[in-house]
Amino acid sequence: MESSTLIDIAAMRFDFPVTDDEISVMAAEISAISNDYWYWCTFRESYLTCLYGNEDVNDKTSMTWLPHSKTCTKIIELCEQFVFPMTTVRPRIIVIRTIPGMKMTLHTDCYENQLNTLEPKLRLVLQGREKNMLYFVNEFGERVYIPNTWRGYVMSGAALHGMDNVETEKFTLCFGDPWIGDNLDNVVFEKYISEQHELYKSSKITISSLGDVNHKSGVKDPTTAKMISWADYNASKKD
């Protein structure tokens, strides 16, 4: 598979080797995590918790399973057996959580100097997929939704995207930075993504098909983006 082909994919279905029952177990593992470990992300306008990482987001090397993730045994199993072999540089693993009424702001998952580089992000929806789909925008400002049928997908961190939660609490398991696709040098990932592309290329959403979109308008400003604890954020809403 050519890297230029993957770079142009805004989103494409991506099969994880999990059953519906296993997905339900993973969702229950996330539901059991105390709100003390969730943070409000002012950039995405959603709640986040980190499962695999560290306290310093700028430290890309010394990451591990954080204490509150140790009970997420099914998620750990999936990562250790399926995801990590494809990612020579292991990704930070977070969960994005939204509740009905939340509108995740339009954003990208990379910085301006990365908009034209290989920036694949793996996603697996554990709960709340129906009617709460991720969407991209085209040059006319129209929304281009990923299908309801996609449980897992690979997406570009360089494509402007958002999500409105209109129905149920949603958990999305996310694999990304500092992994940036290894320039397709990882033979396990290259083989798997090539096979997936052959299966699902007819339904993929490409960045080029979205037209002239100002993707850099969604780049994070690190001087203003903040992570606020669950307690502090919810206390501020009551004031």
Closest CA to 89 of 190, 196, 186: 186
Instruction: State the alpha helices, DSSP H only, in the chain.
Output: 3-7, 20-31, 73-78, 187-200, 207-210, 230-238
Is residue 124 within 8 A of residue 173, CB to CB? The reply is: yes
pTM greater than 0.75: yes
DSSP 217: G
Please name each of the domains of the chain with its CATH number: 3-238 (2.60.120.330)
Q: What digits encode the pLDDT tens for the residues 40-91?
A: 999 888 999 999 998 777 777 789 999 999 999 999 999 999 999 999 999 9
Confidence of residue 25 (pLDDT cuts 50, 70, 90): very high
